[in-house]
Structure 1
Amino acid sequence: MIKRKIEIAVISDVHLGTYGCHAKHLLTYLNSIAPKKLILNGDIIDIWQFSKRYFPKPHLKVIKKIMSMAANGVEVIYITGNHDEMLRKFRDTTIGNISIVDKAVLDLDGKKAWFFHGDVFDISIQNAKWLAKLGGYGYDLLTLLNKMVNWYLEKRGKERFSLSKKVKNGVKGAVKYINDYEKVIAEIAIEKGYDYVICGHIHQPKMTYVETKQGSTTYLNSGDWVENFTALEYQFKRWKIYNFNNDKLAPFIVHDDFAEMEVKDLIAAITIVGQG
């Protein structure tokens, strides 16, 4: 199988362990690329809503695939987010090719790139964590309902749509929050002298050039694998947003060694991290 060689792939907001996660789409994508670095920019495993009752095999296969990529020489940088904040107690831990950090700064062809999840800029998370978690459960219910609606639409041969995206885009307050979030992050990146600032958290894939009186930066958001199915890719000194729905892929076969993966494998993986 021919895989696309890229320098860096960035994914975030996968939310493994929730009904909204499209793990099969992500697994297809990961099987299609051969990155030198894989940056997991937060909320990969949704520990807020983790339950042994719901962690299907495709979700476990994503974890297995990431571990397999690391074992085969890919540098995996796991940047913690708010839904997987439990891992922050293991910040600056390195196991083989996998490192766990709260943020990262990389030199990309002479330019500085600043990576972080983005929840530190979210006032609702910082000042009312219980409310944010409650909102997370409501969001999960909405995505479960969305799955049922899309199943019906696909059976009727009609186009899928995102309920949660329509709700967010239709609320002026949410739109203002997103715009403020992007503006604040870009301005801070400019103050700090970063050429690129790469985050996630708000499930809004975007790449835009921002210029102020103090300087300029490129703001990038990797989106998510709940609604948008997007990633960021860096190759040939350029960034691009990969979109699973638009960038068609040939099917990739899941390796046989993924077939028997169970919850015990996930628990073993977490235990290894804890011992590190």
Structure 2
Amino acid sequence: MAKHPAQKKRRVEVVVISDVHLGTYGCHAKELLAYLKSIKPKTLILNGDIIDIWQFSKNYWPAAHMQVVRHLLSLMSKGIKVYYITGNHDEMLRRFAGMKLGSLQIQNKVVLELSNGQKAWVFHGDVFDVTMQHSKWLARLGAVGYDTLILLNRLVNYGCQKLNRPRMSFSKSVKNRVKSAVKFINNFESTCADLAAENGYDYVVCGHIHQPEIREMETFNGKVTYLNSGDWVENLTALEYNAGKWSLYQHSLALAQMELADNTEEEGDSAEELHGLLTNHQLFENLLAEFNQLKLRA
């Protein structure tokens, strides 16, 4: 198969991605891999829910999901600063907050000093979710329902593509029409902005609600810019910071399809081989054991 000409990677000062949900049917791992291979960041912030430990199953871990993990590891090996900020779906890693391993840091929140002298307060955002605080079982049930809805949505959109009809988003429709969902999103954004302004930060950067946004907000304590990196389940978005400005990146599905043939060839492992690897070595049990050992040595 003829390869597409190699494209020069874009240099980006800071990249923020969140809510990838590796290990679920809704995750667009191939598209994320294509995006990550198209950029050269100085700092990469993984702002929570990267691996969905809530719904992780050894029966579903496609090759593309492992390729994303391997690419992230390759960025760390090159000395690129990577912050892994814990979210609710990967809260198991919160016990390792503060741990540093090479260029990787695991944190619950980060204050980022930007090149323009301003400060960005970065955290996942589930701390402001009342359901997470008081009814975690309900949040987990909702996560399963959401993943099922996304899977159904992808099947419907496959049919739409065959019939040359526009794509649909069930969850976006629900969010836009249900008043309680709209109210929750507005309250979430206002709470984040209020606290950021109160603490003297110029930007507050979140994930969690799968709603990409860049918006300047007026609070009692002054103006602050609220940013949300969206997700890689529905919106396929990331935040990028360059030359003193933030921008919202929306990945093109068409572009991803052109690039993915090469990505698959480069990585090599089949889904069956990776599935066997995970089953035999119990990926997460070993990963946590390794973190424990590293913490004891530190």
TM over 0.5: yes
Question: 1:273: Cα distance to partner?
Answer: 3.1
Secondary structure class of the residue paired with 2:58? coil
Aligned to 1:141: 148
Secondary structure class of the residue paired with 1:77? strand
Please state if 1:131 is matched with 2:138.
Answer: yes
Is the CA contact (8 Å cut-off) linking 1:232 and 1:240 kept in structure 2? Answer: yes
Change in CA separation of 1:247 and 1:233 when aligned onto 2, cut-off 3 Å: farther
Please state if 1:31 is matched with 2:37.
Answer: yes
- d(CA) in 1 for partners of 2:170, 2:293: 41
1:41 to 22, 41, 47: 47
Please state if 1:71 is matched with 2:80.
Answer: no
The higher radius of gyration belongs to 2
- d(CA) in 2 for partners of 1:134, 1:154: 30
Q: Please list the CA deviations of residues 93-118 of structure 1 after superposition, one character each: whole Å capped at 9, or x if unmatched.
A: 11111111000001112101100000
> Which runs of no fewer than 5 residues in structure 2 stay unpaired?
1-5
Change in CA separation of 1:95 and 1:255 when aligned onto 2, cut-off 3 Å: farther
Please state if 1:251 is matched with 2:259.
Answer: yes
**When the two structures are superposed, what TM-score results if normalisation uses the length of structure 2?**
0.88
Aligned to 1:227: 234
Secondary structure class of the residue paired with 1:68? helix
Secondary structure class of the residue paired with 2:54? helix
Secondary structure class of the residue paired with 2:263? coil
Matches within 5 A, 1:199-210: 199-210=206-217
Secondary structure class of the residue paired with 2:66? helix
- d(CA) in 2 for partners of 1:29, 1:214: 37
Report which stretch shifted further, 157-166 or 264-273.
264-273
Is the CA contact (8 Å cut-off) linking 2:17 and 2:237 kept in structure 1? Answer: yes
Question: 1:254: Cα distance to partner?
Answer: 1.8
Q: Please list the CA deviations of residues 63-120 of structure 1 after superposition, one character each: whole Å capped at 9, or x if unmatched.
A: 1111111111211100000000000011111111111100000111210110000000
Question: 1:271: Cα distance to partner?
Answer: 4.6
- d(CA) in 2 for partners of 1:153, 1:29: 25
Secondary structure class of the residue paired with 1:66? helix
- d(CA) in 2 for partners of 1:208, 1:124: 25
AA in 2 matched with 1:272: E
Question: 1:269: Cα distance to partner?
Answer: 5.0
AA in 1 matched with 2:54: W
Is the CA contact (8 Å cut-off) linking 1:205 and 1:221 kept in structure 2? Answer: yes
Secondary structure class of the residue paired with 2:259? coil
- d(CA) in 1 for partners of 2:113, 2:46: 18
> Which runs of no fewer than 5 residues in structure 1 stay unpaired?
none
Change in CA separation of 1:246 and 1:147 when aligned onto 2, cut-off 3 Å: closer
Please state if 1:212 is matched with 2:219.
Answer: yes
Q: Please list the CA deviations of residues 123-152 of structure 1 after superposition, one character each: whole Å capped at 9, or x if unmatched.
A: 110011011101111111101111110111
Please state if 1:80 is matched with 2:86.
Answer: yes
Task: Tell me the C-alpha RMSD between the 2 structures.
Answer: 1.8
- d(CA) in 1 for partners of 2:56, 2:183: 30
Change in CA separation of 1:132 and 1:114 when aligned onto 2, cut-off 3 Å: same
Is the CA contact (8 Å cut-off) linking 1:95 and 1:273 kept in structure 2? Answer: no
Count of residues paired in the alignment: 276
Aligned to 2:162: 155
AA in 1 matched with 2:80: V
2:57 to 51, 58, 78: 51
Aligned to 2:3: none
AA in 1 matched with 2:42: K
Please state if 1:275 is matched with 2:283.
Answer: no
Secondary structure class of the residue paired with 1:231? strand
Question: 1:248: Cα distance to partner?
Answer: 5.1
Please state if 1:167 is matched with 2:174.
Answer: yes
- d(CA) in 1 for partners of 2:147, 2:211: 17
Question: 1:255: Cα distance to partner?
Answer: 7.0
Change in CA separation of 1:255 and 1:25 when aligned onto 2, cut-off 3 Å: closer
Please state if 1:96 is matched with 2:81.
Answer: no
Secondary structure class of the residue paired with 1:150? helix
- d(CA) in 2 for partners of 1:32, 1:158: 29
